[in-house]
Amino acid sequence: MIKLFFSICVILISIPLPSEGQQNVHVRREVYDLMAHQPEVLDAYARAVRVMQQRAPSDPTSWKYQANMHGRFPADAVPNGTSEEKLLWAQCQHGSYFFLAWHRMFIYYFERIVRAAASPLPNGVDFALPYWDYSDEHRRQLPLRFRMPADSSQNPLYVAERDPDMNNDAELDAEVVSNVAAFRVRGFSVAPSNPPLLCFGGEIAGPIHYRRPHGALESRPHDVIHGALGGENGWMGDPDTAGRDPIFWLHHANIDRLWEAWLRQGNNRHDPEDSKWLDTKFSFFDENKHQVTKTARDVLNIQSQLAYRYDEPTQPSGVAAPEPSAPEPSAKPVIAAKSIGGAIALKDEGNRVDLSVVSEQKLGVNPVAAPGAPQPEFVVHIGGLSVNKRPSSGVFGVYLNLPTDASPSEAQKYLAGIFSTFGFEAKHEHSVPGAPGDSPDQGGHLIPVTEAVKRLQAAGAWDGKHVTITVRPITGVKKADKKLTAGDCKIGEITLLVR
């Protein structure tokens, strides 16, 4: 069915559609579909990657330069007499409401550079950046074209610097690819004065690069995909190296598509409307090496403003995301329980943290509210996350009230969420000294756990008086025998918020 749909699309797209006027709209397609039906697009990508790799690293359209614009590769020093800022290196926006818009602009110009580098394209082939829909249960292996042949001198889409299982044929775990929490989000952003809430990144005074809590779509699937593909040492696991992996760009095309799909769910979902979000300028290079500037206002409508679209943007894919029936609670969240005693160094076998209950009343209320009534929303905030060495699998699991003697299969029932260390490397902690809101204590993840609380309550494992949270490395890929280590990571504080 998908295949039939795809072939019809290919036929339709090759005929210019009158409604699209003069402008040629490039269609971004799913990588598995392309491998099956239009491998020429991936050949073009591979060819362009090779061309870009051969360009001088000082050329803004070179492979290395483009990756450095996201985060500077550790071995690449800034030449004397210039700065990261002037070079437009290390500009990626994480942990704020600029995350989606900045990455949209970044991959848009990259796509133009690739198209130019791949030209002349064979007749009938147009290049648009492919996306990878890993949430689809049949598309959870790293696309074959990116791992076979497993030799970067023959295959420009292959890099050895990945999780070895992913570069083999392991599948991403269902938890890793889940976009359920992201699709449930209703409000794009929150004001900085508000306690952290689930959104797509908080408002911020200006571009900041790192260090605030990651928004829902950014945290999962975005960060955890980075973590699982990067594994212990691979490029995808660190923003400074991620752009060197050709799969990075397909991952971001998918995140960009999910932004579209999220908007199309409607029910009052919309982009931010404040002028800081709309009018903050970001700079890039186009295919002619000219420096260009864009604002979020310039990229709101991908088809009319940027001349691309997705083949199938309208459906959130993968795990179904049922809309909560009750309206979103409007109350501010309060801390119901929190860790005490300062920073927590994460251990291979996991850390079980007894939270000190601040408001028994908040925890004690029946979280399974009557139908139609607003339901309390529970969120775990992992604050002050800091990473000197990544966990071996790139991801940690967060468990609520996990019994100490639970077997691995029992433990699954207590798993409330998952987070990655991507973007929380300690070396970034002072990357924007004194920037507004640049507090290492605030950086971290907000993990929605309402479903888990309900599940535990139904199973009699939630008494509303005691809460423990266990954080331990878990495997992000379906390979049972992985040895799990926690690396060298710490958490400043864990809080359980309720509203």
Name the site residues for ligand C2O (rule: CB under 6 A).
Answer: 70, 92, 94, 103, 222, 226, 239, 242, 252
DSSP annotation of 220: I
Q: Which of 381, 355, 349 is nearest to 473 (CA)?
A: 349
Q: Which is nearer to ligand C2O, 70 or 211 (CB)?
A: 70
CB of 243 to ligand C2O, least distance (A): 8
Q: Which is nearer to ligand C2O, 100 or 471 (CB)?
A: 100
Give one DSSP letter per residue of 347-404, joined into a string: -TT-EEEEEEES-HHHHHS-SSPPTTSPPP-EEEEEES-EEEE--TTSEEEEEES--T
CB of 349 to ligand C2O, least distance (A): 30
CB of 139 to ligand C2O, least distance (A): 18
CB of 64 to ligand C2O, least distance (A): 17
**Cα 459 to Cα 401: distance, rounded to the nearest angstrom:** 12
Instruction: Give bridge partners of residue 445 from the DSSP assignment.
Output: 214, 382
Taking CB atoms, the residue at the shortest distance from ligand C2O is: 92
CB of 21 to ligand C2O, least distance (A): 33
Q: Which is nearer to ligand C2O, 222 or 381 (CB)?
A: 222
Pairing state between β 26-28 and 308-310: parallel
- Give the chain's radius of gyration (CA, Å): 22
The answer to whether the bond into 120 is cis (omega within 30° of 0) is: yes
CA atoms within 13 A on the CB side of 246: 29
Q: Which is nearer to ligand C2O, 42 or 92 (CB)?
A: 92
Q: Which is nearer to ligand C2O, 230 or 473 (CB)?
A: 230
134 burial (CB, 10 Å; 0-12 / 13-18 / 19+) is: buried
CB of 103 to ligand C2O, least distance (A): 6
Q: Which is nearer to ligand C2O, 3 or 427 (CB)?
A: 427
Q: Which is nearer to ligand C2O, 107 or 355 (CB)?
A: 107
Instruction: Give bridge partners of residue 44 from the DSSP assignment.
Output: none
Token pair, residue 295, equals: 């604002």
CB of 256 to ligand C2O, least distance (A): 11
**Cα 415 to Cα 367: distance, rounded to the nearest angstrom:** 18
